[in-house]
């Protein structure tokens, strides 16, 4: 199964190369028609390259002098080409090779090591995440609306309004993103359903992905099924892929575990969840956990050793207010609503 998934991903890279080459060829034709001088420059660049190669093979020259002269002429032509493109309103790199990932140039590898884009593609394939990009277009820091949260102080042990509270959490989320590669930090988001825990987690995920890190978002229900399949499935193909999935949970740069406690965990699931969290703490891999359960309800479902690890290594943030979905549905006039 692992080999099949890997082959599927590598075929995606081949598709990128084909599509991007077609696009580059279209650009070249368009520019040659619009700016004939650029075609002449490209022809000259090719002639110089061929001539240089022949001279190196024949070795009938002063190598250093020839290289210097050729480099100077090539740079002069490239500069002229960029000026022509810029003057015509095109980016200077408009005719360069096109890549979906400029780090690995759509090979999936950098110095024989998996590029971060390849790691993320494999994660998405293993967990059948097909709409992540679409979700993150809608759920990002720029789209976050503070006006959905009331400014009235509600009956809460925090003593602040939902809007003040979410602004503090939001600021911490931004700090998490900014410091991701220098500081080890973890979040536990808790509070009633519909208060923005998943939305804010997705905001963070999107920014971490932009930074080139691998991210895995997994609902707790999916994690439970993966753990149980790994232990009880008799199908070797299923066990093979669940092993890869579980390994990713331990090693991915950022793990987002959503809706912890939606199902009452059995001993097997509790043990695996503890191992994942404990291992990620030990290896300094950052994690965000969200749950609708209060700390008291979590304590009733999970072991003391797990709660101890969370309390000692996670920033615990309580979400308060009214279900955002109902606020969106019935309008934004929430300032005078009573809780």
pLDDT of residue 167: 95
What is the value of pTM for the model shown? 0.68
Extents of the domains making up the chain: 2-109, 127-330
The fold adopted by the segment(s) 127-330 is: Rossmann fold (3.40.50)
Going residue by residue through the chain, which has 339 residues, state the pLDDT in tens, using 9 for 90 and above: 456 678 888 989 999 999 999 999 999 999 999 999 999 999 988 888 787 777 666 565 566 666 777 788 888 899 999 999 999 999 999 999 999 998 899 999 999 888 888 888 887 776 565 556 677 778 889 889 898 898 888 777 788 999 999 999 999 999 999 999 899 999 999 999 889 999 999 999 888 888 878 888 888 888 888 888 777 766 665 566 667 778 888 988 999 999 887 777 788 888 888 999 999 999 999 999 999 988 888 888 888 888 899 999 999 999 998 877 766 655 555 444 433
C-alpha triplet 261, 187, 160: angle, nearest 5°? 95
Q: 261 near 293, Cβ under 8 Å?
A: yes
Residues 18 and 255: their CA atoms lie apart, in Å, by 33
pLDDT of residue 335: 45
Place of tokens 């753990």: 227
Residues 234 and 174: their CA atoms lie apart, in Å, by 44
pLDDT of residue 336: 41
Q: If you write DSSP's letter for every residue of 223-277 in order, what string do you get?
A: HHHHHHHHHH---HHHHHHHHHHHHHHHH-SEEEEESTTSS---HHHHHHHHHHH
Place of tokens 């097997």: 268
| Tokens (6 digits) for 203 | 């905001």
Residues 211 and 100: their CA atoms lie apart, in Å, by 15
Residues 221 and 265: their CA atoms lie apart, in Å, by 10
Q: Kindly tell me the burial class for residue 321, based on how many C-beta atoms sit within 10 Å of its own C-beta (0-12, 13-18, 19 or more).
A: buried
| CA distance to 101, 179, 309, per residue, from 215 (Å) | 17, 16, 22
pLDDT of residue 128: 61
Residues 312 and 338: their CA atoms lie apart, in Å, by 36
pLDDT of residue 117: 87
Beta-carbon contacts of residue 103 (< 8 Å; ≥ 6 apart)? 110, 115, 116, 117, 212
pLDDT of residue 97: 93
pLDDT of residue 338: 38
Which residues are registered as beta bridge partners of 189? 290, 317
Select from 303, 204, 210, 208 the least CA-distant residue to 258: 204
**219-229 burial, b if ≥16 CB within 10 A, otherwise e?**
bbebbbebbeb
Where are the extended beta strands (E) located within 51-204? 109-110, 113-114, 187-190
């Amino acid at each position: 199964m692992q080999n099949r998934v890997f082959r599927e991903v590598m075929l995606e890279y081949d598709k990128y190369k084909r599509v991007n080459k077609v696009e580059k060829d279209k650009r070249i034709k368009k520019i040659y028609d619009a700016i004939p001088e650029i075609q002449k420059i490209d022809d000259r660049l090719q002639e110089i390259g061929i001539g240089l190669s022949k001279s190196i093979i024949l070795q009938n020259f002063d190598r250093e002098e020839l290289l210097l002269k050729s480099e100077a002429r090539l740079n002069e032509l490239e500069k002229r080409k960029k000026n022509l493109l810029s003057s015509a309103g095109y980016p200077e790199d408009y005719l360069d090779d096109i890549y979906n990932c400029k780090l690995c140039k759509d090979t999936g590898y950098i110095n024989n090591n998996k590029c971060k884009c390849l790691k993320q593609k494999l994660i998405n394939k293993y967990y059948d995440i097909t709409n992540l990009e679409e979700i993150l277009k809608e759920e990002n820091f720029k789209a976050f609306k503070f006006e959905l949260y009331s400014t009235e102080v509600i009956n809460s042990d925090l003593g602040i309004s939902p809007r003040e509270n979410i602004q503090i959490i939001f600021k911490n989320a931004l700090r998490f993103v900014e410091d991701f590669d220098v500081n080890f930090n973890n979040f536990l988001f808790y509070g009633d359903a519909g208060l923005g825990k998943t939305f804010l987690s997705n905001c963070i995920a999107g920014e971490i992905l932009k930074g080139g890190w691998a991210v895995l978002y997994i609902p707790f229900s999916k994690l439970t099924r993966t753990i149980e399949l790994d232990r009880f499935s008799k199908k070797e193909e299923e066990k093979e892929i669940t092993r890869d999935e579980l390994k990713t949970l331990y090693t991915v740069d950022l793990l987002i575990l959503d809706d912890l406690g939606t199902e009452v965990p059995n001993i097997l699931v509790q043990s695996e969840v503890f191992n994942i969290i404990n291992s990620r703490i030990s290896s300094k891999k950052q994690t965000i956990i969200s749950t609708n359960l209060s700390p008291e309800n979590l304590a009733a479902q999970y072991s003391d050793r797990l709660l101890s690890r969370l309390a000692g290594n996670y920033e615990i943030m309580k979400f308060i207010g009214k279900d955002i979905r109902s606020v969106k549905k019935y309008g934004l006039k929430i300032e005078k609503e009573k809780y």
